[in-house]
Copies of this chain bind each other. A is one copy, B any other.
Amino acid sequence: MKEQIQVTLPDGSQRSFPAGITPLEIAAALSASLAKKVLVARIDGVVRDAFTPLYNDVTLHLLTWDDPEGKAAFWHSSAHLMAEALEALYPGIKFGYGPPIDHGFYYDVDPGDRRISEADLEAIEKKMAELAAQDNRYIRRDIAKAEALDFFEKKGDPYKVETIRELNDGEISFYQQGNFIDLCRGPHIPSTGLIKAIKLTNIAGAYWKGDEKNKQLTRIYGITFPKQKELDEYLQMLELARQRDHRKLGRELGIFTFDDDVGPGLPLWLPNGGVLIEQLELLAKQTEEQAGYVRVRTPHIAKESMYLTSGHLPYYQDSMFPPMELEGGRYYLKAMNCPHHHKIYAAEPRSYRDLPLRIAEYGTVYRYEQSGELFGLMRVRCMNMNDAHIYCTEEQFADEFRAVNDMYLRYFKIFGIEKYVMRFSTHDPAKRGQKYLDLPELWAKTEGMVRRVLQDSNIPYVEVPDEAAFYGPKVDVQIWSVIGREFTLATNQVDFGQPLRFGLTYTNRNNEPQTPIVIHRAPLGTHERFIGFLIEHYAGSFPLWLAPVQVAVLPIADRHLDYANNLMGRLRQERLRARLMGSDEKIGKRIRTAETAKIPYMLVVGDKETSEGTVSVRRHGQGDLGPFSIEQLTRRLREEIAEVLG
């Protein structure tokens, strides 16, 4: 056994420590303030407790609240804390599963004859806070199956017993904090004292193991934070998100709807949604045209053979729609555009002079999501994707990847997205040939280039080892709406695999066949998710360039209709989307209607305006701006659009 071990840190530096040291102790050696923040550690790619003693040379990532794995452990430990509180308040309560989720955690419990309701949550929170203040350590113990069974049989918890029966000896562990012991594989945070702010949010029914033939348990949802301020902000964000709910606004503003005869998860875009889509596509098409992309169109279906070649069948089959049987063969709705684009690449012989070839398409793909998973525009079955595939040489890769990144930054600026992070997933060299394609040079080169591009461009990014795709490194783009809610926007993937599977080649200067690298990219993601995001982000008050109706013209009385119509003609000439709101209703009511519809500009025209050839301008959310000449108005509108789009 070693006396000293070499620990490799994320920046590549190496430090020597005595064998048996824990990640938490290493953190303390590095910085006292860091030690207070460490929740768990990634040890040689696997996330484990910060108390895990290290006996070999390792690569070590100390993970905090800022890492997704840190948050997950924090919330998982919070679920245990809630269980401890429940056991104190409801002796004999039984426990099902209690995992962390995207935002918080839940625990499925069986209180027996008792009933836990919303009204009880405060008392449970209070008990949790009391137990958290005891700052008990989360202590791990590996345990034999027989012993584990014995414990929970004696305790009288049938769910845990059933769970243990399905596990194998040697893979079972318990965690204990305070007096509470749970079956758990971990990892957990060091101690309950780190949990400073607690909110139980919701109670629902949930069948044991999700099977409606089983008993219904009580699912209690909660969320916790290391600081009270973060909880306060989160709750405020939730309230804002509720007000800006894209499903509610989407319907009210005539953006989209669903219909039972069309099917769940298949949005019908209403006329105002149609404008949003057209404007987004126009922006993307112009941006991509300037960046040297070419545009193609491909069918929404293909034969089974295509997806056998691509490898999506059988591995991805569960996420695809079922096949259509035709002429003795099978056709599938496409779940991705790449294979079709590869076929277009392969349709002609290519030489190095043709590269980079950037093939773009607003392609609609269909993916099967379970009904229960569908959610407004955020989880759908039909996705209109701002897709493109860049075929390039190794030499061209860095420039191409940089250009993709620049495109993201340009979009972030246009849409006022101020908080974003790139999650850069790399491969584990030890797993090449199994989890990853065995192309060491390509991995090293492309990962190095991606890292350099991210560093050079000062984009906030985190590097996540051992989470690359089988066929290359990838970058997931996370963005935050103005109210602070996180969205996954898109993924850029580097792909060495598909070009090989499809036999894509180009001839180099020496007339030798070479395999191109493919970059998959979709900076605006899908219309569905992105417009869902934008509705929340803008609370439905879209910027002028994007607004479905940009200008409402409101004649005060019928005698101003001629002038109003004249004005409509002028606005249309300027290619502005204008709506005449002349009706029997009173002007005040019509202004309120236009405000509710969140139309950016309202032009009121009465006697004075008609005689002077002016308009009286209201800006949504700002109120009255006073009289404008038509020229002043159109200049203002042009400038407002140019300010964003440049």
Contacts and interface: CB of A to CB of B under 8 A. Distances in A.
A216 B72 CA distance: 72
Interface residues of A, number: 60
A306 B300 CA distance: 20
Contacts of A321: 301, 324, 326, 331
Given A274-B297, A296-B271, A324-B324, A303 B262 contact: yes
A643 to B, nearest CB: 20
B382 A261 contact: no
A271 B297 contact: no
Which of A263, A303, A364 has the largest count of B CB atoms less than 10 A from its CB?
Answer: A263
Contacts of A323: 324
Given A261-B306, A347-B268, A295 B324 contact: no
Q: Main SS of the interface on chain A?
A: mixed
A257 interface: yes
A327 B374 CA distance: 14
Nearest to A323: B324
B261 A305 contact: yes
Interface string A280-305: 00000100001000111111111101
Contact of A266 (B254, B301, B324, B339): B301
Contacts of A333: 300-301, 324, 333
Which of A262, A290, A294 has the largest count of B CB atoms less than 10 A from its CB?
Answer: A262
A347 B324 CA distance: 30
A296 B267 contact: no
A385 to B, nearest CB: 13
A261 B353 contact: no
A269 B384 CA distance: 18
Interface in A367-393: 368, 371, 382, 384
Contact of A298 (B268, B324, B583): B268
A611 to B, nearest CB: 29
Contact of A296 (B268, B298, B340): B268
Given A268-B299, A295-B274, A353 B583 contact: yes
A514 B326 CA distance: 42
A343 interface: yes
A309 interface: yes
A322 B322 contact: no
Nearest to A572: B290
B326 A298 contact: no
24 contacts: A257-B347, A259-B343, A259-B347, A261-B309, A262-B299, A262-B306, A263-B302, A263-B303, A268-B297, A268-B298, A268-B299, A268-B343, A268-B344, A268-B347, A271-B296, A273-B296, A277-B297, A278-B295, A321-B331, A322-B326, A324-B333, A327-B371, A333-B333, A353-B583
Interface of A: 254, 257, 259-263, 266-271, 273-275, 277-278, 285, 290, 294-303, 305-306, 309, 321-327, 331, 333, 339-340, 343-344, 347-348, 353, 359, 361, 364, 366, 368, 371, 382, 384, 527, 572, 583
Closest 9 CB pairs of A and B: A271-B294, A274-B295, A269-B297, A261-B306, A266-B299, A299-B382, A259-B343, A322-B324, A257-B347
